[in-house]
A and B are shown apart, each in its own frame.
Chain A
C-alpha cells in the first residue's frame, strides 16, 4: 500500500496514487506528477519509487 504521507515532509501524497498509476501507462511520470501538484522531490520519490506488493502478498495469506 502506498504510504499515506510523504516520509520527509508529511504532505499527503496517497490521494493521487490511483490516478497516477493509471496515467503513467500512457504519459511520462514526471509530467503526471507536475499535473497532480506533487512538486517537491521528497513527495515525488514516494510515488515514483513505490512498488505495490499487496496483491502479490495476498496469495500467501
Chain B
C-alpha cells in the first residue's frame, strides 16, 4: 500500500492510495461517514416556545449543529455505557438554551455542562425571536455513529475514484480537439502532441476519445489506485477523522479475529 497526499485543509483531505482493492478504499470511505462516533444533541425538552418555529423544527436544527469535544474519548456510547443506556454523565452532555426576543438565537448560545464541548460553528442560526417571544430548552447530547442518524455523521462528503491513466499513441497529430473538448483541462499540447498534464482531475468521461479522429487516445482506470477525498463536518480536523476511521476498521477486524479464534 502506498499513500500520497494531494491536498490537506482543515476540513478536507485528498489523497492517493495505491496497491489496495476497491473494497478497502470503500471501507475507508464508509468508516469516515458512518463508523466514527461523535457527539450530537439527541433529546430535548421544550419548557417554553412562543417562536414562529414548531418544536420539532427547533429540535431538528439543534440536532444538526456539529459539536466539537476536547475529550471525546471520555464519553462512551449509550449502549456500551456502564449505566446500561439509561443515561449518566459518562454518556451524556446536558445543555441549556434559554433566550428571549427580539433577536437571533445562535448555536453559541447553547450552554453545555461540560466546558470542553462546544458547537463547531458559533454563528449557526437556531431560531429568530420577535418582540416578547421566548424559548426555554433543556436537553442532552449523546455519542453515536452516522449509521444511527446523519447528525452523527463525522464525514460529510466522502468519495473516491480510480486513478485515471491516459495513454497517447503514436498516431496523435496534435490537432488539439481533445484539449478543447475536455471539461476539466486535463490535457495540454506539448511539442505538437497532446499530453496529460493534470491527470488527477480527469473524471474518465472519455469525451476526448470520441473526439480523437486518429484514435490515438486511451483512457483507462488504474484498478488498484484510488483518489480518495474526505470532508469533515467540522467536529474534528479531517486528519483525525481519517485516523479514527482507520482505527474503527482495525477494531472490527480484531473483533472478528477474536470471534474466529473462539470457534476453533
Contacts and interface: CB of A to CB of B under 8 A. Distances in A.
A4 B157 contact: no
Given A12-B120, A18-B125, A54-B128, A1 B233 contact: no
Nearest to B121: A15
A31 B78 CA distance: 45
B156 A1 contact: no
Interface residues of A, number: 20
B123 A18 contact: yes
B172 to A, nearest CB: 34
B150 interface: yes
B153 interface: yes
A42 B234 CA distance: 18
A4 B156 contact: no
- The A interface, classified by DSSP as helix, strand, loop or mixed, is mixed
A51 interface: no
Contact of A10 (B120, B130, B150): B150
A16 B124 CA distance: 8
A34 B114 CA distance: 35
B157 A58 contact: no
Contact of A58 (B123, B124, B125, B130): B130
B127 interface: yes
B195 interface: no
Contacts of B128: 1, 54-55
A3 to B, nearest CB: 8
B207 interface: no
Interface residues of B, number: 26
- Max chain A C-beta neighbours (<10 A), residue from B66, B121, B124, B128: B124
A16 B127 CA distance: 15
A45 interface: no
Contacts of B107: 15
Given A5-B64, A12-B121, A14-B124, A54 B157 contact: no
Interface string A1-41: 11011100111101111100000000000000000000010
A50 B57 CA distance: 17
A38 B210 CA distance: 34
A43 B194 CA distance: 35
Contacts of A10: 150, 153, 156-157, 233
Contact of B156 (A11, A15, A55, A61): A11
Q: Which 5 A-B pairs have the closest CB atoms?
A: A15-B121, A10-B156, A4-B64, A9-B157, A15-B123
Interface of A: 1-2, 4-6, 9-12, 14-18, 40, 54-55, 57-58, 61
Given A1-B61, A14-B125, A16-B123, 20 more contacts: A1-B125, A1-B128, A5-B64, A5-B156, A6-B156, A10-B153, A10-B157, A11-B156, A12-B64, A12-B66, A12-B233, A12-B234, A14-B124, A15-B121, A15-B122, A40-B157, A54-B128, A58-B52, A58-B130, A61-B130
